[in-house]
Structure 1
């Protein structure tokens, strides 16, 4: 039996760890100062891949490793996904502030080393270090906010994080392009250092949480099994249909290894004192349902972000240089709705209706986007993107809020990491599945017109490349891309229906906050028993 204690903080009563009563209300001024550090940290986590993506052609040209280019992203993604649940558990056991600071330092170390890379092999290895730290950034932000702000009041701060997401998605490619053109690609990594230093100062000086002293031990065997399972799943979705055929021994082997590892993980987690992800959490209906919804949100969001710019650049003739701006309508819808929803939750304490509306609107947005054709106007497609973004705005923060409200304070890090992990894995599966559907439909269109199927390389042509092609070939290619978009978003609509069904099973458990805290605790306990 493991025990945990909290050390007294001057001026505050000692708090027993492992109960909802661990929460200690902080002054609003202190919370706002901490939020500055958390917002900067989230910006670091979200900007990195978007900035680096713009600089990749230049990086590959200087380091001479085009054949390994995909691994620059894959190594980062794998390390992030694999470490996310471990960071959450470490924070729960040994202190959220300490684990958060360590993750920031690791991320900054990886950033500095990546900027110093002299070969593609070094860059891939250092990006993995960077991803290892990134796994703790998002988890740390959400779990610390959960420890500082009661769920009932958390909507006030959700808008800041939604704004950061929109800023990162739109501004990342633009910043990356500017740095690459006017400075040096190495500054796409070095830019993290001053931002990270500011975040560290804010967290060290301002954030005050009860110190945790624990004799519990990390479940290393479970961590290894979960890591192998996650890495195998991500590699299957990344490589399947691209690097290797879906029926190849490599993909089948990885799939078998991943499945066996996850089954072993579930077996181990039921027998250890401090599981990485306590399986009992999934007995709580709300936690299970928002995990499903979060997976599908990641599925839909990353699918849209990946394929919409290709359609707008090649079919609608938008500028590739400003490709980040092409997603602004979707981010605008997400930001505005997230702000409104956050305020509404704070005022009423009710949230169940928002996932139901959000999943329905997200399905409607996907259905509208499935009607994209060669002659669809940019204004029309932008309106469709606003609808999809609005649907996500109803869901992005609410899924995290419900997950955190469904667990005891001692499991806040696990709840935050699980919600983040399901969204990340959903995004990985979404990009892989949608990519396969898109390429297959594009190739079918090209073959039907008597043109050679160009696969991914044809599907990613820039508007400049099209200028050297005959008009008839351009027309066929544009129709193929429009057909591919139709297939992608039609399947996105079908998958969104699953999220609608999951949202209908959510229970309205009162959010912890103020006078409702005791009643919310009782309702959460009852929900976990059902």
Structure 2
């Protein structure tokens, strides 16, 4: 007999105590997960399996950055450097909402297993690549796998726990990704220096194999929702809309100018694709990414929050090493050590934020606090210069990391709470989709801001006060600051990313120009966090459900002001399920 069917002699005594809180297992609904969970050991094995899958994708993604310069040097493809990341990002972003809908229809297990398998096959092939074209193609294959792993891992946790409990466990899940972000670059550098860059693709294969075996044995095969025909026309139009958009964001300011015909054309195709996608999805019986979700104000604001959080996070992580190495003169190793506390702050805040969300449920104020802290940290980073101390850098990055960490999982859980369990995968994938779009825009648009500010400041110094003191070759060597990081990782320069054999005046010009460019970037980031703060003021707040079963029985609607209104049976996990259910109780709003 299952745990729910066995009779405990003390059960009647326990149920007569209204002050007794239900245990973890009592909060789990086997219907939404697809199978009963009969012990804590079984629960932790399932959660460990999901975390292993997440770790496989996260480590595979974060180890590549430090090894990329060696890859392009070995395969003679410096001109294709950006495509190592672009191909992966393209494939994973496009497939995220598709996997989410498929898992809602046919169940999580087959696509979780398929995602890990595809990712590992892509990793092996990347390690065997003989030229840049092969490497780029196999990185895209890895992206196809990653597009399934992360959103489905989050959805599995949502299947197990109701919204009121998800914060605790999704915090641990995001902490796994954060841990990979901390150790990945260091591990990638060590493997590349010790064994060669190909080994970075092999290192987590054992983890992936264990994850596949464990998932095969522990995850249920039951489909979550009603099986209906997949909207393949929506899939095609989503690709038409997303691929040109991601290419434009990846190339703008790097390969082509923002106003070039290529970038304008890509944006134009994307806009047309988005319009066609919306029209088709509004008529589709089973849309891939339902435009009607945006009629729910909670969902709309949460997607904006996910987008802005990723925008701020990527701008901070991507360009802080440039400031530390180029302006303060730190080595690549030391700059990595200084960025690590930010990631640790992000991980800790994600875990503690999840605990707080489950305890108090007041997600609106947590979102506001997160944007305030992240914005404050970016304002402090915008005030940094060549005289900034190490302690000041640590204070600024930790404060920013805590703010962003508080919001990493928040918007996903809040959006999930606004919809039925049958839409859990789609809603989760939507949040991940907008995060990745925000990250791509952060790298591209904010990178262009930084490059333009640097070029303006650098040219004014070289052509002004340094005119006649430096040669054209010396000036051209430091025209693009992003190339300096590549040179430093290949060991081509000393003293941070600036060589010691150039004139002192040129060294100071590079550092001053970099300081202006990067701090202006963080000022833009602070403005973005301010926009997020204002947006959160309009976020409706409803209680987090205490049972996934509520989702199957509720009838969501909105009042004329756009506020979600629900009528639902409130869960009572400690009550014997054989007894009659209580009368429905209306859902109250905190606002």
TM-score (structure 1 length as normaliser): 0.92
Q: Which residue of 2 is the match for residue 50 of structure 1?
A: 62
- The equivalent residue for 1:243 is 255
Q: Which residue of 2 aligns with 1:470?
A: 503
Task: Determine helix, strand or coil for the equivalent of 1:79.
Answer: helix
Residue 339 of structure 1 is matched in structure 2 by 351
Following the alignment from structure 1 to structure 2, what is the Cα–Cα distance between the partners of residues 329 and 121? 37
CA drift at 1:85: 0.7
Q: Against the structure 1 CA distance between its residues 459 and 522, is the aligned structure 2 distance closer, same or farther, given a 3 Å change threshold? A: same
Structure 2 residue aligned with 1:256:
268
| TM-score, length-scaled by structure 2 | 0.83
Aligned position for 1:3 = none
Q: Does 1:66 align with 2:99?
A: no
Distance 1:148 1:354 in 2: 24
The structure with the largest alpha-carbon Rg is 2
The alignment status of 1:505 with 2:538, answered yes or no, reads: yes
Counterpart Cα distance in 1 of 2:555 and 2:376:
33
Note the C-alpha offset of 1:466: 2.5
Cα shift at 1:352:
2.1
Deviations 1:310-369 (A, max 9, x none): 101121222213543232121122222222222222223332210011111111111111
Is residue 115–residue 190 contact of structure 1 (8 Å, CA) maintained in 2?
A: yes
Count of matched residue pairs: 516
1:109-129 CA distance string (max 9 Å, x none): 111111111111111111111
The superposition leaves residues 219-276 of structure 1 with CA deviations (integer Å, 9 ceiling, x where unpaired) of 1111111112111111111111211122211111101100000110000001111100
Shift of 1:210: 2.7
Q: How is 1:53-202 mapped onto 2 (pairs within 5 angstroms)?
A: 53-202=65-214
Relative to structure 1, the CA distance from residue 224 to residue 324 in structure 2 (aligned partners, 3 Å threshold; closer, same or farther) is farther
Does the aligned pair in 2 maintain the 1:509–1:523 contact within 8 Å? no
Residues 210-359 of structure 1 mapped to structure 2, 5 A cutoff? 210-211=222-223, 215-359=227-371
Segments of 4+ moved more than 6 angstroms = 9-13
Partners of 1:234 and 1:246 in 2: CA distance? 14
Measured after TM superposition, the shift of residue 192 of structure 1 is 2.8
> How big is the shift at 1:197?
0.6
Aligned to 2:21: none
Unaligned runs of 5+ in 1: 1-8, 14-18
**8 Å contact from structure 1 (residues 283, 528) kept in 2:** no
Aligned-pair Cα RMSD in Å: 2.5
Counterparts of 1:306 and 1:167 in 2: how far apart (Å)? Answer: 17
CA distance in 1, matches of 2:249, 2:361: 39
Higher helix share: 1
Kindly provide the CA deviation profile for residues 34-84 of structure 1, in whole angstroms up to 9, marking residues without a partner as x. Answer: 111111221222222321121122222222222222212111110011111
Deviations 1:361-394 (A, max 9, x none): 1111111111111111111011011111111122
- Runs of 5+ in structure 2 lacking a partner? 6-28, 464-474, 489-495, 567-591
Q: CA deviation at 1:207?
A: 1.8
Among 387, 400, 404, the alignment partner of 1:392 is 404
Q: Shift of residue 517 of structure 1?
A: 6.4
Aligned to 1:26: 37
